[in-house]
A and B are shown apart, each in its own frame.
Chain A
Amino acid sequence: AQSVAQPEDQVNVAEGNPLTVKCTYSVSGNPYLFWYVQYPNRGLQFLLKYITGDNLVKGSYGFEAEFNKSQTSFHLKKPSALVSDSALYFCAVLNSGNTPLVFGKGTRLSVIA
Chain B
Amino acid sequence: SQTIHQWPATLVQPVGSPLSLECTVEGTSNPNLYWYRQAAGRGLQLLFYSVGIGQISSEVPQNLSASRPQDRQFILSSKKLLLSDSGFYLCAWSVLGRSTGNTIYFGEGSWLTVV
Q: Digit string of B77-115 for contact with A (CB within 8 Å is 1, else 0)? A: 000000000001010100010110111111111010000
Tell whether, in the assembled complex, residue A106 and residue B96 are in contact, meaning their CB atoms are under 8 Å apart. no
Residue of A nearest to B111 (CB): A41
Tell whether, in the assembled complex, residue B41 and residue A90 are in contact, meaning their CB atoms are under 8 Å apart. no
Which residues of B from 1 to 44 have beta carbons under 8 Å from A?
Answer: 6, 32, 34, 41-44
B51 CB-CB contact with A under 8 Å? yes
Count CB-based A-B contacts (< 8 Å). Answer: 60
How many chain B residues touch A (Cβ–Cβ < 8 Å)? Answer: 26
Contact of A98 among B32, B42, B90, B107 (CB under 8 A): B32
**B49 contacts across to A, CB distance below 8 A:** 100
**B102 contacts across to A, CB distance below 8 A:** 32, 94, 98-101
Tell whether, in the assembled complex, residue A51 and residue B90 are in contact, meaning their CB atoms are under 8 Å apart. no
Q: Digit string of A28-55 for contact with B (CB within 8 Å is 1, else 0)? A: 0000101010001111111001010000
Tell whether, in the assembled complex, residue A90 and residue B32 are in contact, meaning their CB atoms are under 8 Å apart. no
Bound: A88/B38 CA distance, A: 12
Contact of B43 among A34, A94, A106 (CB under 8 A): A106
| With known contacts A98-B96, A100-B34, A106–B108 Cβ distance under 8 A | no
**A36 contacts across to B, CB distance below 8 A:** 106
Residue of A nearest to B46 (CB): A100
- Additional 12 contacts, C-beta under 8 A, given A41-B88, A49-B101, A100-B32: A40-B41, A41-B111, A42-B108, A43-B6, A43-B106, A43-B107, A49-B103, A88-B41, A90-B44, A92-B104, A100-B34, A100-B104
Which positions in A face B, CB cutoff 8 Å?
32, 34, 36, 40-46, 49, 51, 88, 90, 92, 94, 97-101, 103-106
Q: Would you mind naming 5 contact pairs between A and B with Cβ atoms under 8 Å apart?
A: A41-B88, A46-B105, A88-B42, A103-B43, A106-B44
